[in-house]
Amino acid sequence: MFSPYYAWDGRSQPSDHVSINVALYGLKPGAPNRWAMTERGEAALSRTADSFTVGPSQLSWEGSTLVVDVDEVTVPLPRRLRGQIRFTPSIWQPSSLVLDSKVRHRWWPYAPAGHMEVRFEKPKLAWTGHGYADSNWGSAALEADFKGWSWARAKTADGTALLYDPLERSGRHKPVALHVGRDGIAIPFDPPPDVALDKGFWGVARSVRSEEPSRTKLIKTLEDAPFYTRNAVETVLNGEVCPAVHESLNLDRFKNPVVKLMLPFRMPRRTRWP
């Protein structure tokens, strides 16, 4: 959905603009950070009911486990990124949510929590922990209907909290706040106040819902782009300090032609396969 090539092509053939984006971040000093997002053409795409393959990398279901086999080259420094990610959901959430008043965009947090196993050969690393999976889709470009949004997924003592703040171009602002318990039941709750965080390097504003501003922290900026930031934060929900992954998206920035010209630096396109 952020492909400049797809936009320049008039959004006419989505199957000719496919990629598997892999980002590795570490919170500890010296941890390896890697980014790969190579767009490929239709010749590199293969899919079945249980698998989605783009060139050398693939997502597939093995029973109830989502397996991601990665074999990519990073940018801007070309280094091999090879390994496997296995995610087994412990919670299934069956319902998708409409994000906009025109009913053109949906969000489905189908696996709010689960067990994650990560093993990479390059770079050499392995860990286990908790994970999350969701899906977005729509019938219009995001920048046509939204000015931007902020989003966060927080781990709570008894489940997962999901916070989504989409801002439509019409000015409509209807935040979503859900708590999904270990039983898989999603319960809406009143979103706490919006707490401002420091802006990113490129000036992208970012904020997160939290009950206590004094205990709300930006732990680390994981991704900082002219239109987008991804962050590790701590937020306070129901009196509990919760670690969270957070993102801020500015779609006014994204639709700027100058910004689109910058994107191939992080998202090269390779049309030939193999």
Q: pLDDT tier at 181 (50, 70, 90 boundaries)?
A: very high
Asked if 87 and 96 count as a contact pair (C-beta separation under 8 A), the reply is: no
What band does 43 get if pLDDT is binned at 50, 70 and 90? very high
Q: Secondary structure of the chain in the HEC alphabet?
A: CCCHHHHHCCCCCHHHCECCCEEECCCCCCCCCEEECCEECHHHEEECCCEEEECCEEEEEECCEEEEEEEEECCCCCCEEEEEEEEEEEECCCCCEECCCCCCEEEEEEEEEEEEEEEEEECCEEEEEEEEEEEEEECCCHHHHEEEEEEEEEEECCEEEEEEEEEECCCCECCEEEEEECCCCEEECCCCCEEEECCCCCCCCEEEECCCHHHCEEEEEEEECCCEEEEEEEEEECCEEEEEEEEEEEHHHHCCHHHHHHHHHCCCEECCCC
Distance of CA 149 to the CA centre of its chain: 12
pTM: 0.93
pLDDT for 116-165, tens place per residue? Answer: 999 999 999 999 999 999 999 999 999 999 999 999 999 999 999 999 99
What is the rounded average pLDDT of the residues 217-222? Answer: 97
**What one-letter code names the amino acid at 49?**
A
- Where residue 184 falls among pLDDT bands split at 50, 70, 90? confident
82-105 pLDDT tens trace? 999 999 999 998 889 999 999 999
pLDDT of residue 183 exceeding 90: no
In this prediction, residue 29 carries a pLDDT of 86
Residue type for position 172: R
Mean residue pLDDT of the chain comes to: 95
- Structural domain boundaries of the chain? 4-270
Q: Could you tell me the pLDDT band of residue 197, with boundaries at 50, 70 and 90?
A: very high
